[in-house]
Amino acid sequence: MKNKKGLAILMRTRMKTSTDPSRLPLLPLTGKVNQMLTDAKGNAFDTSVPQAAAEEAQGPTKLNPPADSTSYRDFDAVRESMHSAISLNKAEVLDVVLDDFSEGYFSLSFENRRKLLITLAQVYDLNRAQVRDLIKQYLGLELPGGNASESSTVDEEAMLSCFYRVERNLRQVLKPAYEVLFERLNNRPGGLKFLSIFRADVLSILAEENIASLRALDSYLKEKLNTWLSPAALELHQITWDDPASLLEKIVAYEAVHPISNLLDLKRRLGVGRRCFGYLHPAIRGEPLIFIEVALLRNVAQTIQEVLWDTPPIPESEATCALFYSISSTQPGLAGINLGKFLIKRVIKLVKREMPHISTFATISPIPGYMQWLLSKLASQSILAEVENMSPSSSSGSVSTFRENILEPEEEKLLLSCSEESFPGKSGMDVMLKLLTSTKFEWISSPELLSALKPPLMRLCARYLLEEKKRGKALDSVANFHLQNGAMIERINWMADRSEKGLRQSGGIMVNYIYRVERIDECAHSYFSTGHIHASNDIRRYTLGV
């Protein structure tokens, strides 16, 4: 029980963060501002793709500045230390300079960080005059085997040497000046963590304004982070009640989907019938980059409620299914770097080895983009229908080509009949739109409305998951995440998540993805190359109108 005190602190933290979940302060790095860490809160989604979602679904990370604004360090001083950290030579870049820069950065207001980042992107870019010079040199070189077809191999080697030299120089000058800063920071303890926060700031600026230079910096930094975070260097760690409170605290802070309500709940999350695994990186100590929560069950759960039990429904030895019910990324700054894929593969391998009686690996996942897609579809169709009704003579032909009644005739009939009094509308789609956008979700307390909405919502959900694509990939970010990892779509479940968030995102529907161990690589490959979505016959039935 030596952890009791730590957990008490932890619980206080939890309550603090709960008061205003929209405030997502940046994670500071250094001791000075360490107390802020307890406020830290990352992105988390049930069995979701934290990276893609962080880019698409999440709002920008907000800075939680020090209460006293006089404690901001002078912008120019930080800019100066940034300059030193980049321009001093190798032996001069004393650790002090880099420390000074990262501490200074954290002390800046969000507005000043923005200013600094844009300065970095624009002023410490590459030297285009040098690039041009080298490019001209390069064009002057003659490719061997061209005109001088009779040249000996020795000549050829000599000519190639010139190419290698200029190409190496070209690669060098094509590196923006800020690459030095990234490399130097990465080589220092705490540097990778700093860079991850740094990039989270960049992403939150880019979410609000499209600045070409900053976007270029981001894509450069992302590539760097990708190469530094080799999965082979990540340690798979089973998180248990024996872990230090400082690590468990992170699980509490970053697990935003199924909040941990009390001590017992946290302990249960790590106890009998459940598992929790995280990826630790040696340069970011005591904090998993990503973690996944697993429940051991007899069957693939159809609702999230089945997973959030207080006492294990069955002994572990009777479980045949490992259900991934939550995957959370702790580093918004690592958005776009798919660590989840490797984590899932390794967890499956480990669970299979330790518990051979488990043969099914599945998820119970949200469908974060479903309602957004459906509502915009319904809204645009309603408008088109109105236009058509208002001017039945003029250019009705051209409007019609875009029109589509996404409801089946029986579905429309049933909807119109049972909503006449409470939600009168001109058409089934109009009624559906009104029902689904009613702020209090009145429809879920009416058995008639529920049974009228279920058929179209389930059918359209299957269509959304199986057929709606963006650049050849599943439109839904969570679907895309699991499909690219090699999963199949198994089943959609009605009223699987009745929470407000669940209703808002997907009308309460959740989906089970299944990882069939022997087919993971094959599924991932065909999805990658042709966009083909592997799905059960069960779910395909909805879209075939059977």
Q: Map the footprint of a second copy across residues 479-518, applying CB under 8 A.
A: 484
Should residue 151 be labelled a site residue for a second copy when binding is judged by CB under 8 A?
no
In the complex, minimum distance from the CB of residue 191 to a second copy, in angstroms, rounded to a whole number? 6
In the complex, minimum distance from the CB of residue 244 to a second copy, in angstroms, rounded to a whole number? 17
In the complex, minimum distance from the CB of residue 522 to a second copy, in angstroms, rounded to a whole number? 9
Among the listed residues 297, 344, 308, the one whose alpha carbon sits nearest the alpha carbon of residue 49: 344
- Is residue 71 flagged as an active site residue? no
| 73-88 CB burial, b ≥16 within 10 A, e <16 | bebeebbebbbbbbee
Task: Please list the alpha-helical segments (H only) found in 188-339.
Answer: 191-206, 212-228, 245-254, 263-269
Do the beta carbons of residue 60 and residue 204 sit within 8 Å?
Answer: yes
CA angle 38, 39, 43 (to 5 degrees): 115
Should residue 377 be labelled a site residue for a second copy when binding is judged by CB under 8 A?
no
Distance CA 336, CA 192 (A): 16
Q: Exposure of 350 by Cβ count < 10 A (0-12 exposed, 13-18 middle, 19+ buried)?
A: middle
- Is residue 382 flagged as an active site residue? no
In the complex, minimum distance from the CB of residue 30 to a second copy, in angstroms, rounded to a whole number? 15
Q: Which residues contact 46 (CB under 8 A, 6 or more apart)?
A: 257, 258, 304, 325, 326, 327, 364, 365, 366
CA angle 201, 205, 211 (to 5 degrees): 125
Which of the stretches 158-166, 350-358, 393-401, 491-499 binds a second copy when contact is defined by CB under 8 A? 158-166
Structure tokens at 389: 């009704």
Distance CA 454, CA 45 (A): 25
Member of 161, 299, 395, 451 binding a second copy (CB under 8 A): 161
Which of the stretches 3-11, 38-46, 206-214, 319-327 binds a second copy when contact is defined by CB under 8 A? 206-214
In the complex, minimum distance from the CB of residue 247 to a second copy, in angstroms, rounded to a whole number? 17
Should residue 387 be labelled a site residue for a second copy when binding is judged by CB under 8 A?
no
Member of 470, 525, 532, 541 binding a second copy (CB under 8 A): 525
Should residue 206 be labelled a site residue for a second copy when binding is judged by CB under 8 A?
no
Should residue 531 be labelled a site residue for a second copy when binding is judged by CB under 8 A?
no
Member of 3, 64, 84, 186 binding a second copy (CB under 8 A): 186
Structure tokens at 100: 């000074």
328 bridge partner residues: 44, 291
Member of 74, 235, 318, 538 binding a second copy (CB under 8 A): 235
Should residue 154 be labelled a site residue for a second copy when binding is judged by CB under 8 A?
no
Should residue 336 be labelled a site residue for a second copy when binding is judged by CB under 8 A?
no
Do the beta carbons of residue 415 and residue 426 sit within 8 Å?
Answer: no
Q: Which is nearer to a second copy, 89 or 317 (CB)?
A: 89
Which of the stretches 156-164, 324-332, 351-359, 378-386 binds a second copy when contact is defined by CB under 8 A? 156-164
Member of 215, 267, 516, 519 binding a second copy (CB under 8 A): 215
Q: Map the footprint of a second copy across residues 80-109, applying CB under 8 A.
A: 89-92, 94
Of residues 365, 382, 477, 506, which has the active-site annotation? 365
Should residue 160 be labelled a site residue for a second copy when binding is judged by CB under 8 A?
yes
Tokens 């998820």 -> residue = 363
Q: Which residues are catalytic?
A: 365, 482
